[in-house]
A and B are shown apart, each in its own frame.
Chain A
Amino acid sequence: MTLSVTQAVLDGAKLVDLSTSSVRELNAALHALAPDSNETFWKVAHPNGRHAIAAGLDADIDIEIDGPVGYYCAGMNKRGRVVINGNAGVGVGENMMSGFIHVKGDASQSAGATAHGGLLVIDGNASARCGISMKGIDIVVKGSVGHLSAFMGQAGSLVVLGDAGEALGDSLYEARLFVRGTVAGLGADCIEKEMRDEHKALLAEKLKAAGILGEVDIGEFRRYGSARTLYHFHVDNVSSY
């Protein structure tokens, strides 16, 4: 890799300014980090909604992005801790494996789509299809989520402090959903389930991970999950397929 990034050092961090460096240069530098690198704190300036910023991270590092990002920010993240000081475009943290992503603004559609692990925290709202086909990620949305959130959710948990849009958890597999506000409608095979102590403990664990344990009353949340009636094809369910 012969690419280089325009770098400076700010508050002990490597600074990459995307008004002078390209996303390709930034990502190439991040991918080239040696496992024992001491360059573990990066700042990204002027993202201006560019796509695929910090995609494909596989390093135990911190990245702070100062402004709004475009599609697929931190896509397929492994281990990285990414903070976005602004809104995130479509598919933030899509297919994340592990690590942490914190969106300080709103997230667009398909936040955390198909992600296998890690924690995604969104301070604002997430729009449609938040957590679609989630496969193990934990998502905590402090605002509300749009329609078809957790569609076909397979595993992991979605915690929503605000409201959920239409068709929440449609065709849900085993993902666990907790919503504090109103739910505009449940999707096919998604039902409200009893909130037992073990679920409260689980929710507390997720809120703690998101750093907001104690800020909200766990008793205000309701739990939703799969009725598991679509797990085997049956003629009486035909309208739900």
Chain B
Amino acid sequence: MNDLTNTPRTKPRASATFDEYTLSEIRRAAATGIYDIRGAGAKRKLPHFDDLLFLGASMSRYPLEGYREKCSTEVVLGTRFARKPIELKIPITIAGMSFGSLSANAKEALGRGASAMGTSTTTGDGGMTNEERGHSTQLVYQYLPSRYGMNPDDLKRADAIEVVVGQGAKPGGGGMLLGQKITERVAGMRTLPVGIDQRSACRHPDWTGPDDLEIKIEELREITDWEKPIYVKVGAARPYYDTALAVKSGADVVVVDGMQGGTAATQEIFIEHVGIPTLAAVRQAVKALQDLGMHRKVQLIVSGGIRNGADVAKALALGADAVAIGTAALVALGDNDPHWQGEYEKLGTTAGAYDDWHEGRDPAGITTQDPELMKRLDPVAAGRRLANYLAVLTLECQTIARACGKSHVHNLEPEDLVALTIEAAAMANVPLAGTNWIPGSNGNF
């Protein structure tokens, strides 16, 4: 035997390919035989709005005074066909999240917060609750493949209808809600046995493709006497085509959800590997509207990873009419708050990383149906936090818009933006900072 004690040795080297997370996932898969399911959106590092900067005013452009000169934020959605378009005071709405995936208190808090700021909330897979309708002055009713809880009375008491074709976390996939959250009330609303692992369909049961969607939209308009704006929501994958086809199908509003957009429960592999980032989706969707001569006539809502007023302003500058927030709204309510760190640790995770939303054990009482956990969320206080957060997003967006000399946030333009990275420049179709170079196809998608 050689004496190795004095021989220098290289340090243990971890694989970049087989990193710790990957190794843990292989072990988990080997032990359980089923894919990993979790909530939230893509967690990997993606090109995002952070890679864009605004060119403020200086000599060639004049800024607006912050406290005296008006910078409007109102948005009207559904001006194309609907007799009663939706009027929002701010260009930020609350994305669809179901009762079932969220607790009744969380839905109520969303309604309170959004209503306080003059904006809308959206139902999700599983139907409309009275709490939600009661606390949301403007409520968008989602029309999903499962049609859980779908009924004409709720359709008529909604302020808008959102036909969901897909969502950013899983373009091409159906919903999931696992047994832990199928309580008696959730099961009753969905006509399902209590406690089962529910599987939602990925296609609508009675139409496929835009030619038939056109007929479906006509039916929904007939049922609601052409009053309600009809949105079509797609997960960002081929947003140029999808937006154009939504317009051709007769949509009033198109919602494009990037891959950072959250979900209550989906396969991890789906969340991280299907769809494109929000940044890459906006210009494609806008281009489709422009090519059809429908930009600003059919409104565009963008969602997926919106966090602050800069994100809002950048999405608007790229051509969106409004943004929707989901994950950020839940955080404002109290999701993943360090206050519950001890409990997150008991669940084998940490505040900020908790994403087992499907298990229904959310210490913050938001993604749960457990009556005890739910009580932890005070809907009034949580609604106030959401209203505060929405106010900050709006103020931040206005701050940027004024700095660029805009008296309405919709007057922000792509030309007010530059990119920090070549990737972002190519995706957003704006020049690399300090150059006039726009890599890629120069607007042809």
Residues of A that sit less than 8 Å from B by CB: 1, 23-24, 27-28, 31, 51-52, 55-56, 58, 70-72, 75-76, 78, 90-91, 94-95, 97, 109-110, 113-114, 116, 129, 132-133, 135-136, 151-152, 154-155, 171, 173-174, 230-235, 238, 241
Query: B33 on the interface (CB 8 Å rule)?
Result: yes
Please determine whether B225 and A72 come into contact, CB atoms closer than 8 angstroms.
no
Please determine whether B205 and A129 come into contact, CB atoms closer than 8 angstroms.
yes
Please determine whether B33 and A238 come into contact, CB atoms closer than 8 angstroms.
yes
Stretch at the interface among B116-124, B195-203, B304-312: B195-203
Given A1-B225, A97-B152, residue A90 in contact with residue B191 (CB < 8 A) = no
Cα-based distance from A152 to B151 in the complex (angstroms): 18
Stretch at the interface among B92-100, B213-221, B287-295: B213-221
6 other A-B residue contacts (CB within 8 Å) besides A55-B222, A95-B150: A51-B219, A71-B216, A76-B223, A78-B152, A94-B205, A231-B193
Please determine whether A55 and B34 come into contact, CB atoms closer than 8 angstroms.
no
- Which of B34, B196, B205 makes the CB contact (< 8 A) with A238? B34
Cα-based distance from A113 to B147 in the complex (angstroms): 9
Query: B395 on the interface (CB 8 Å rule)?
Result: no
User: Contact flags (1/0) for B27-61 with A, using CB distance below 8 Å?
Assistant: 00000111000000000000000000000000000
24 sampled A-B residue pairs with Cβ under 8 A: A27-B225, A31-B225, A51-B219, A52-B215, A52-B222, A55-B219, A56-B152, A70-B215, A75-B223, A76-B223, A94-B205, A113-B205, A132-B206, A133-B147, A135-B147, A136-B191, A152-B199, A155-B191, A171-B199, A173-B196, A232-B179, A232-B197, A233-B34, A235-B33
Query: B184 on the interface (CB 8 Å rule)?
Result: no
Smallest Cβ-Cβ distance to A1: which chain B residue:
B225
Task: Name the distance in Å between A25's Cβ and chain B's nearest Cβ.
Answer: 11
Contacts of A75 in B (CB 8 A): 219, 223
Please determine whether B199 and A91 come into contact, CB atoms closer than 8 angstroms.
no
User: Which B residues, 191 to 241, have Cβ-Cβ distances below 8 Å to chain A?
Assistant: 191-193, 196-197, 199, 201, 205-207, 212, 215-216, 218-219, 222-226
Please determine whether A90 and B152 come into contact, CB atoms closer than 8 angstroms.
no
Query: B155 on the interface (CB 8 Å rule)?
Result: yes
Contacts of B192 in A (CB 8 A): 154, 173
Task: Name the distance in Å between A116's Cβ and chain B's nearest Cβ.
Answer: 7
Given A56-B152, A116-B191, residue A91 in contact with residue B225 (CB < 8 A) = no
Please determine whether A95 and B151 come into contact, CB atoms closer than 8 angstroms.
yes
Query: B183 on the interface (CB 8 Å rule)?
Result: no
Given A154-B191, A232-B179, A235-B33, residue A110 in contact with residue B222 (CB < 8 A) = no
- Which of B155, B199, B212, B218 makes the CB contact (< 8 A) with A76? B155
Smallest Cβ-Cβ distance to B182: which chain A residue:
A231
- Which of B151, B193, B197, B226 makes the CB contact (< 8 A) with A174? B193
Smallest Cβ-Cβ distance to B148: which chain A residue:
A135
Query: B146 on the interface (CB 8 Å rule)?
Result: yes
Task: Name the distance in Å between B197's Cβ and chain A's nearest Cβ.
Answer: 5
Smallest Cβ-Cβ distance to A108: which chain B residue:
B206
Given A235-B32, A235-B33, residue A55 in contact with residue B223 (CB < 8 A) = yes
Cα-based distance from A52 to B212 in the complex (angstroms): 12
- Which of B150, B155, B206 makes the CB contact (< 8 A) with A109? B206
Please determine whether A52 and B219 come into contact, CB atoms closer than 8 angstroms.
yes
Q: Which of under 10, 10 to 19, 20 to 34, or 35 or more describes the interface residues of B?
A: 20 to 34
Cα-based distance from A152 to B33 in the complex (angstroms): 24
Cα-based distance from A171 to B215 in the complex (angstroms): 27
Please determine whether B206 and A28 come into contact, CB atoms closer than 8 angstroms.
no
Contacts of A173 in B (CB 8 A): 192-193, 196
Cα-based distance from A51 to B207 in the complex (angstroms): 13
Contacts of B218 in A (CB 8 A): 51-52
Most central of B146, B197, B219, B226 by chain A CB within 10 Å? B219
Q: Which 7 A-B pairs have the closest CB atoms?
A: A235-B33, A56-B223, A91-B206, A114-B147, A110-B206, A231-B196, A76-B152
Contacts of A94 in B (CB 8 A): 205-206
Please determine whether B219 and A72 come into contact, CB atoms closer than 8 angstroms.
yes
Please determine whether A152 and B152 come into contact, CB atoms closer than 8 angstroms.
no
Given A51-B218, A133-B201, A232-B179, residue A113 in contact with residue B206 (CB < 8 A) = yes
Contacts of A136 in B (CB 8 A): 191
Task: Name the distance in Å between A69's Cβ and chain B's nearest Cβ.
Answer: 12
Cα-based distance from A154 to B219 in the complex (angstroms): 24
Task: Name the distance in Å between A42's Cβ and chain B's nearest Cβ.
Answer: 16
Task: Name the distance in Å between A56's Cβ and chain B's nearest Cβ.
Answer: 3
Contacts of B196 in A (CB 8 A): 173, 231-232
Smallest Cβ-Cβ distance to A226: which chain B residue:
B193
- Which of A23, A52, A114, A129 makes the CB contact (< 8 A) with B150? A114
Please determine whether A23 and B32 come into contact, CB atoms closer than 8 angstroms.
no
Please determine whether A95 and B191 come into contact, CB atoms closer than 8 angstroms.
no
Task: Name the distance in Å between A126's Cβ and chain B's nearest Cβ.
Answer: 13
Please determine whether B219 and A28 come into contact, CB atoms closer than 8 angstroms.
no
Smallest Cβ-Cβ distance to A97: which chain B residue:
B151
Smallest Cβ-Cβ distance to B33: which chain A residue:
A235
Please determine whether B146 and A90 come into contact, CB atoms closer than 8 angstroms.
no
Cα-based distance from A110 to B145 in the complex (angstroms): 13
User: Which B residues, 222 to 272, have Cβ-Cβ distances below 8 Å to chain A?
Assistant: 222-226
Cα-based distance from A90 to B306 in the complex (angstroms): 39
Contacts of A95 in B (CB 8 A): 147, 150-152
Smallest Cβ-Cβ distance to B179: which chain A residue:
A232
Contacts of B152 in A (CB 8 A): 56, 58, 76, 78, 95, 97
Contacts of B146 in A (CB 8 A): 133
Please determine whether B219 and A90 come into contact, CB atoms closer than 8 angstroms.
no
Cα-based distance from A95 to B223 in the complex (angstroms): 12
Please determine whether B34 and A133 come into contact, CB atoms closer than 8 angstroms.
no
Contacts of A132 in B (CB 8 A): 205-206
Contacts of B201 in A (CB 8 A): 133, 152
Cα-based distance from A70 to B147 in the complex (angstroms): 21
Cα-based distance from A24 to B197 in the complex (angstroms): 41
Smallest Cβ-Cβ distance to B145: which chain A residue:
A133
